[in-house]
Structure 1
């Protein structure tokens, strides 16, 4: 197998050589003008998405794709990723690793429990390593492609993948400063500035600082974001984009509350079960992204890009012990005690990835083709050290009358001390064929070569695996009317099983298969549209407990998710815009060595969920105002992988309003969880449950100049 660095060099040279050829293209089309600062009067609906890796309008793509534009992000008041994907059907919150990362499932399937969900940043993998919860300050839009995306992006869950698109430099100057103050002594400042530096070079700078209190006892956080980017028009046919992003978050690890005898609500939602003296866990993320785009003609173009990312997570934490499984030890004096353990983590990673692709249009007789061909490759290294101290009696906490400041436990074991290296190279080819006026056929194929080595420095053992995986995609779209299309899709996925069996051997990857049919509607003026889809996904080679070797796994499990999803968004009148969604998802284990688990629901996935939001805007003299409201419903969910207890359903309501007295100044008021509903957003098990935030009020002032 060729060394991955050789592949990087070979492909880069080939792409750059192609760019050097004489060009007869028209001038490169730049991105649409983006709003600087908080926006109003822009649409919720988008008829295209980069995550589809094609220029085909979304109504012709035989797959459900949802776009959450900046206007919706602003109206929701989202400063974290989870607040925005609450308004996408079939996307549900998962265990957030004590508030230290983003985690979600799509169509019932979550990502690796040790690294979080699959997501992309400008088309490059953004989830490898340890990443702080995404800050929305420099996000232009979110794109979600539903169902398997392995034929486009390689290893991922079969439920879908999310792409974060960041703000780009503009050749029109604009500057904004935003200030926010909210409940629990929370403060946030943002700067968004863009302008041309020359006729061919423009910059953008997004910065954010947040000092955030919490309804949780002894919990606060600080975060810093700086994200400069540049666009260089190298020639009329060639654009170079570079962006850098540095994000640092400091906050204590907070595993949340516990369920006693399988019931949540046994202790107050603000009760902290850790140790304040442990201090903060610090996460540092840095990302460099360089892309070159070139148009050979109006029909042919190429793109090449490099991304380099580093992540680190370091700090101490005290957590409810998994060994007690949420049970309580009663002292002779009648005090209820939860046992705890102390941990120290020092994790770091480096991630280098390359993408190169060619996109073209041509015809063979009366049949039109839109082809995509490319290669991507990455090398990822993950260094993990975790030390732990456990006690059965000396480090407990009275859950009703906690006394903090106990002598820290000695960290006398090192359960994790590994260095992991991954190399992956994928080749993909796709053809979207217009073989009649109203019919579109999509054929896609990708082949990945995946190599992984894990060096266990605690026992000196080394595990190595290498797999070749081919994932196809086949879809058909019927453009029934100028506004209505019907589609069908079958596709496959894979995800590496990063574990070993009792014989120190690696497992074959998980494999997923999906069938989907759907209907898409788009108004003639493209102001609003929606998608309804019906799907079934089966996943095999899921790890399950090895009955012959305690503490080990075998790849004998299977899971299935099937359901119905609906998404609608758009500007329904000149003054009103809405977005709404609903999902019914039946996600369960269909095969396991433990017969009692067959039929168990997948963790944190409700059968029914939905949300709706509406915003009204109007003008007066030199100003403008707007107000709106939204509601989110999440049904009952399995609270752990055993489905032995459940989280109750909940509904939360938010309201938002703004007043803009002139073109440069704007004031906003956002209230989340208006009726102060007590709810539980997600859990890992009975001993780690994340409570939702109470009513929070945020006042903001935004200035443009």
Structure 2
């Protein structure tokens, strides 16, 4: 169904039913701009995802916020464009370009799903999620460390919270047009203003088409993100946020390594089958928040979020590489759908007890999640193979047969409590706990077998901050996390959930004018019950693995002076498998470098005629990473490890404000056209980084 007609029919229904979806605290400040920003901030003072009024400098946790200014300076249109500029983030398997997937502090999630993500404080990681477009996004909050005490099932390395743009009470409008390398064409609209004395709207729309830089791999994307704010009374507000996104592209598993060597074939070569066409990812999200400030100063919030996702299409994927260069392939048909309904109720306020000031948060959450998964596949054999050195497309395509046909149902009820305590003028204590009761049922339609598990998890966290001066903070925190494992073992029993614990020790500094902030953090994370191969049956799994991550993070961001703003990061990360029945004990995890770092600097000034300009650039470095895990048998046999080489990339950014309302921009990515590889699932599925690309944009405000 076309997106625009669908949305026009759905918006009145959403407004009439007034689904109260919990988004963000209405007390947070709103950015008073539309379109691309200028002379904004890199350093943020608070994070909505932390669910506390404590400023970031006082919060006993490392939080990295990518502001709208940083997004615009990078020319970023999707989350993937900013990842290299956030310390401790490494790219993981992106499902052939159909979703975003990262590890934070070396801790990846389930390799068969995307990353753990929040959208305005609600889970946005369940289901099948297209690469997130940034047209309707105000900022991205990387919450380092466990978030289970607030959000439940998650990774101990960190969680990403995407915050959407909000309606403004002054009319403002912007249109943007972009063109560039590899057939890029993109248009965007950002419009906001009052509809009545107590009703305001915001509408973000983006349409994008790319021919793509890899052979036969283009993409199309459409996103519409409406938002409404209704001030029912002076103390009661209803907010609605929606997002409809469609993403279409060929499922592209990348290139292959020959004898552990990359570069044997061009980075542009497509090894699938062009005749398969595109795979379509559809995401529809609807949220609202009903908030009321009571006479006592406490705030009550009630919300409901509804998300549907789906992946539909056919692909051809690498199966086995012969010494001759002949690549056998598998053809797959996917028909995936999910439905996610979540309700939250919170009460937040301050009180004084025993001479101490408390900021309390009480919350209840309930979600219903259904996932319908149908995959058919067939091994094409020699008649469907392709020569990687001289590919010839167009062979007769084999018809996939039934392989996976499941229906998964998840139900979860959770209670959580958080208390931010001012122990003394220089001391803050943050304590929280969440109890989740999880009910999962999995029906295998092919066998008729249904399994069920009902784990209960308690996730505490505790943090302490010491503020020895108005600029410095020393802090420590500890927390636990969990994530249910899907599937069953060879005996039909459910897997125990993954559990994690994390320790963090750090220091924060903020300039006196609050325009620059820096964080240094040491962390130690352990995760247990990671699924690994059953030693008695290699086709089955057991929850017996353990991994560990230790590291040092350094982050700095802010406005250095009138002309310069800067964003920098450096991370040293040691991740290893500490227990496994099949993989190399002591080996590293896939795609996690020991070293990564970045630097972004932008200079702004004005010409003599008053026209403003900005210019700058960025450099990122990613160290060597493991490209395919080695088994213990391979280690004993002396099989060499497959590693992705380190890489350094540079980018160039600039703008010229021709008039106060008209601006021209230039973005050059991979300035020196370096050949590099961003992630790998195996030697046969290696994702190459984009070659040099140039984008020119024109933005007009009115």
Shift of 1:28: 7.3
Q: Distance in 2 between matches of 1:222 and 1:32?
A: 31
Residues 38-95 of structure 1, C-alpha deviations (whole Å, 9 max, x = no match): 1111110001000111111111111101111000000011111011122111011111
Deviation at 1:340, TM superposition (A): 0.6
The TM-score normalised by the length of structure 2 is 0.94
SS of the aligned residue for 1:151 comes to: helix
1:133 matched to which residue of 2? 131
Do 1:622 and 1:661's aligned partners in 2 also have CA atoms closer than 8 Å? no
Give the alignment's Cα RMSD to 1 decimal: 1.4
Measured after TM superposition, the shift of residue 141 of structure 1 is 0.1
Q: Distance in 2 between matches of 1:55 and 1:579?
A: 25
- Cα drift, residue 298 of structure 1: 7.0
Change (3 A) 1:358 1:341: same
Shift of 1:505: 1.1
SS at match of 1:434: strand
**Which residue of the partner structure matches residue 600 of structure 1?**
587
Match of 1:479 in 2: 467
- Work out the CA distance in 1 between the residues paired with 2:624 and 2:83: 18
Counterpart CA distance in 2 for 1:476 and 1:54 is 14
Which of residues 416, 426, 432 is equivalent to 1:444? 432
- After superposition, give the CA deviation of every residue in 1:591-625 in whole Å (9 maximum; x if it has no partner): 0113x610110110000001010011112334210
1:640 is displaced (CA, Å) by 2.1
Distance 1:163 1:416, change over 3 A: same
Q: Give the match's secondary structure for 2:455.
A: strand
Preserved CA contact (<8 Å) 2:670 2:692: yes
- Contact 1:329/1:338 (CA < 8 Å) preserved in 2? no
From 602, 611, 634, the counterpart of 1:615:
602
Aligned position for 1:514: 502
Q: What SS class does the counterpart of residue 403 from structure 1 fall into? A: coil
**Structure 1 residues 192-591: aligned runs within 5 Å:** 192-297=190-295, 299-321=297-319, 324=320, 327-330=321-324, 336-412=325-401, 414-591=402-579
Where structure 2 has 5 or more consecutive residues not aligned to the other structure, the ranges are 1-18, 632-640
Aligned to 2:148: 150
Residue 249 of structure 1 and its aligned partner are, at CA, apart by: 1.0
Please give the alpha-carbon distance, in whole angstroms, between the structure 1 residues aligned to 2:503 and 2:394.
Answer: 55
Indicate how the Cα distance of structure 1 residues 399 and 350 shifts in structure 2: closer, same or farther if over 3 A, else same.
same
Equivalent residue number for residue 695 of structure 2? 698
Distance 1:214 1:105 in 2: 26
User: Does the CA-based 8 Å contact 1:252-1:279 persist in structure 2?
Assistant: yes
TM-score by length of 1: 0.94
Shifted more, 292-301 versus 391-400: the winner is 292-301
> 2:564·2:602 contact (CA, 8 Å) conserved in 1?
yes
Cα distance change of structure 1 residues 54 and 29 upon mapping to structure 2, 3 Å threshold: closer
8 A Cα contact 2:246 2:283, kept in partner:
yes
Aligned-pair CA distance for 1:446: 0.8
Question: What whole-Å deviation, never above 9, does each CA across 1:114-151 have from its counterpart, x for those lacking one?
Answer: 21110000001111111110001111000011011101
**What does the per-residue CA deviation read over 1:387-433, in whole Å, with 9 as the maximum and x for residues that have no partner?**
01113311110111110000001213x22100000011111011111
- Partners of 1:293 and 1:107 in 2: CA distance: 35
Q: SS state of the match for residue 454, structure 2?
A: strand
Q: Distance in 1 between matches of 2:621 and 2:158?
A: 21
SS at match of 1:86: helix
Could you tell me how far 1:365 is from its partner in structure 2? 4.0
> For residue 20 of structure 1, what is the aligned residue in structure 2?
none
Within 2, Cα distance between the matches of 1:143 and 1:702?
26
Greater CA deviation, 403-412 or 619-628?
A: 619-628
Listed as ranges, the matches of 1:22-37 within 5 Å are 29=27, 31-37=29-35
Cα distance change, pair 622–557 in 1 and its aligned pair in 2 (3 A)? same
Q: Is the 8 A contact 1:28 1:236 kept in 2?
A: no
